[in-house]
Chains A and B, each alone.
Chain A
């Protein structure tokens, strides 16, 4: 089962998120992550949803059938700008605290809370970046972790277009 990212523009009305998630459960689609927030356009919200599904056609069509859904775009990972915020609490003691802090620093993680037996970091980036960070933190022990859900937008830069073989 592969992961797909969908960018969904919806009307900013009560119950819209419930309708979208109800459709997913109705049709037995599995949501991996979901993030929702307002856009720069009044009355429009943006939902980024990451799903585990063998194919997306049926899912996209069912989303389109929802009256409050305005636009659905599938984001291929090679042409998407993706980011996620994570807060992770890493176990450490005064002896290895410096080492943990240095390693986290290499990833651009920011210390936001410090306790005798742990450091809590805030880190933002692509899913791969966060995964790599966690790989390096695992040996110390991950005490707690929370993710915001992925947000994504389509790339439009020349670099991005060249990367997918367009001219």
Chain B
């Protein structure tokens, strides 16, 4: 038997191994076929997803659980277009991702060939960068650049499109360099010393400062520095949806999440602040509400690794371009110099006021003893039973907001969700990806029935690939958040939001997919159901939680409204 020639496909797999890839997620097909042959001989684990969107979200879940680059692979045409949603999702949430797609043969490009799509053109709008490889000799350098771009500066998705003939081309592997990137210089700085000094002087003189912390702190793995700085400067901390877990919720300086469904204290603290320190956050409209009315009296210090975020929405008084972790270290050093042994400002009035708001306007819900189950109650019970020691992966909607509000986060990397794009269906595949990355951790998807119905086929992946995730489906019989808006803003005229509570039969569906299926519909049985779910270790579990059909998510700032107009509950309407 003659030895197989070394081709672009071999080079691709060797390049991925060279980047340290251990697990990737994908679906094969015609154009990518050559790459699946050397995969059989590779050390890389390939998780066979049931849909390319699932593969993409799995790679995101993997990346968010580990901080490493997630890898998804798909074929040309529909395989590539199915990856578009995960790519845009990763772009919005700055998740490091490399997507490999097959392409029709070089000579067929542009001819409307079978399963052809202009993939790099499509990806242009939803990636940090994209490549079309036209020579197999360029594969090692291209893959190396792709991983470098995906994981440095502000992380993001990179797509590498490889025509089938290039995958089949005879080539040889060569150790790659970054010589081909003259225009890519992500800032690695700790901020300009003059700006650091100005920031510290501003913070020290502040009466009502707030740290407004975003996902950048998670990406920078800077939670420890954040805690040290918040304590040293004695400044309370608001965490955005993407930063949940970056600062422990049970810390006395923690105010929780702010914005549209944030806590009264977090949202109002920002509104009343005199100095707002934005750290790896981007003044998203879900955080600011009406921008003109956002933190109207605050001087703003904005720290971000992406210069384009600074001044995009709110012009800061002190702009600092740099890595959140390095900047926090520089701020700590400068703080020590400026203090010169003097104690931290006590800020008694400000911290006292925040304490009063926390006590007077807490998150709340009513759980009637005889049901129906409130999602908030279930989440609190799940946290209590597990001790909060789990990676929680949510979908998008009411359950996502409640999970963020009621799961007390204690460490980074334990909250995985689709923040910027708001991709329904994210939860199940992202949980599969997270569990594949962290098999020894408890990974729980907290999903809504609407989201679940978009991507539940990836439970087949979980069952067949031995990835035992737990999936909680909060069944309120519809698209709860859309229904809430129709109730609040469309006079209760419900249009296309009711899915019904009986079809599908979730436990039966789960069993059919190779999972254990459970259901709970009474608050008194919640703990027992959680115990049952946690007891299953050898298969994925789906626990259907039949919840209140009409519960609304509060607090709420109506879209585009001022953050001074927080609706605390139905009584405020």
Judging by beta carbons under 8 Å apart, are A26 and B307 in contact?
A: no
Segment touching B, from A65-73, A111-119, A126-134, A139-147: A65-73
Would you call B125 an interface residue if the criterion is a C-beta within 8 Å of the partner chain's C-beta atoms? yes
Would you call A2 an interface residue if the criterion is a C-beta within 8 Å of the partner chain's C-beta atoms? no
Would you call B183 an interface residue if the criterion is a C-beta within 8 Å of the partner chain's C-beta atoms? yes
Judging by beta carbons under 8 Å apart, are A62 and B308 in contact?
A: yes
Judging by beta carbons under 8 Å apart, are A26 and B183 in contact?
A: no
Judging by beta carbons under 8 Å apart, are A18 and B306 in contact?
A: no
Judging by beta carbons under 8 Å apart, are A10 and B183 in contact?
A: yes
Q: Given A18-B121, A18-B124, does the pair A11, B308 have CB atoms closer than 8 Å?
A: no
Would you call B489 an interface residue if the criterion is a C-beta within 8 Å of the partner chain's C-beta atoms? no
Judging by beta carbons under 8 Å apart, are B125 and A22 in contact?
A: yes
Judging by beta carbons under 8 Å apart, are A26 and B306 in contact?
A: no
Would you call B149 an interface residue if the criterion is a C-beta within 8 Å of the partner chain's C-beta atoms? yes
Judging by beta carbons under 8 Å apart, are A67 and B124 in contact?
A: no
Judging by beta carbons under 8 Å apart, are A67 and B181 in contact?
A: yes
Closest Cβ of chain A to B246, distance in Å, is: 24
Interface contacts beyond A67-B183, A67-B184: sample of 20 additional A-B pairs, CB < 8 Å, sorted by A: A10-B183, A15-B121, A15-B124, A15-B132, A18-B124, A22-B124, A22-B125, A26-B125, A57-B311, A58-B308, A58-B311, A61-B307, A61-B308, A62-B308, A64-B308, A65-B308, A67-B128, A67-B129, A68-B183, A70-B182
Would you call A97 an interface residue if the criterion is a C-beta within 8 Å of the partner chain's C-beta atoms? no
Query: Residue among A61, A66, A69, A70 with the most chain B CB within 10 A?
Result: A61
B184: A residues at CB distance < 8 A: 67
Judging by beta carbons under 8 Å apart, are B183 and A70 in contact?
A: yes
Distance in angstroms between the alpha carbons of A65 and B129 in the assembled complex: 10
Closest Cβ of chain A to B131, distance in Å, is: 9
Judging by beta carbons under 8 Å apart, are B132 and A11 in contact?
A: no
Interface residues of A in 1-44 (CB under 8 A from B): 10-11, 14-15, 18-19, 22, 26
Distance in angstroms between the alpha carbons of A56 and B184 in the assembled complex: 21
Closest 9 CB pairs of A and B: A61-B308, A70-B183, A67-B129, A67-B184, A22-B124, A61-B307, A69-B183, A62-B308, A70-B182
B132: A residues at CB distance < 8 A: 14-15
Judging by beta carbons under 8 Å apart, are A15 and B120 in contact?
A: yes
Interface residues of B in 171-223 (CB under 8 A from A): 181-184
A58: B residues at CB distance < 8 A: 308, 311-312
Judging by beta carbons under 8 Å apart, are A19 and B124 in contact?
A: yes
Q: Is the interface of B mostly helix, strand, loop or mixed?
A: loop
B311: A residues at CB distance < 8 A: 57-58
A22: B residues at CB distance < 8 A: 124-125
A sample of 12 cross-chain residue pairs with beta-carbon separation below 8 angstroms, ordered by A number, consists of: A11-B182, A11-B183, A15-B121, A19-B124, A22-B124, A22-B125, A57-B311, A58-B308, A61-B307, A65-B308, A67-B128, A67-B184
B128: A residues at CB distance < 8 A: 67
A61: B residues at CB distance < 8 A: 307-308
A19: B residues at CB distance < 8 A: 124
Q: Given A10-B183, A18-B121, A58-B312, does the pair A67, B149 have CB atoms closer than 8 Å?
A: yes
Distance in angstroms between the alpha carbons of A19 and B126 in the assembled complex: 11
A65: B residues at CB distance < 8 A: 306, 308
Judging by beta carbons under 8 Å apart, are B183 and A66 in contact?
A: yes
Distance in angstroms between the alpha carbons of A10 and B184 in the assembled complex: 11
Distance in angstroms between the alpha carbons of A69 and B505 in the assembled complex: 54
A10: B residues at CB distance < 8 A: 183
A11: B residues at CB distance < 8 A: 182-183
Interface residues of B in 270-305 (CB under 8 A from A): none
B121: A residues at CB distance < 8 A: 15, 18
B149: A residues at CB distance < 8 A: 67
Interface residues of B in 304-352 (CB under 8 A from A): 306-308, 311-312
Distance in angstroms between the alpha carbons of A11 and B308 in the assembled complex: 21
A18: B residues at CB distance < 8 A: 121, 124
A64: B residues at CB distance < 8 A: 307-308
Distance in angstroms between the alpha carbons of A143 and B312 in the assembled complex: 44
Closest Cβ of chain A to B284, distance in Å, is: 16
Interface residues of A in 40-81 (CB under 8 A from B): 57-58, 61-62, 64-70
Closest Cβ of chain A to B87, distance in Å, is: 14
Distance in angstroms between the alpha carbons of A69 and B184 in the assembled complex: 8
Interface residues of B in 101-138 (CB under 8 A from A): 120-121, 124-125, 128-129, 132
Distance in angstroms between the alpha carbons of A70 and B308 in the assembled complex: 16
B306: A residues at CB distance < 8 A: 65
Closest Cβ of chain B to A32, distance in Å, is: 22
A14: B residues at CB distance < 8 A: 132
Residue of A nearest to B313 (CB): A58
Query: Residue among A14, A18, A57, A69 with the most chain B CB within 10 A?
Result: A57
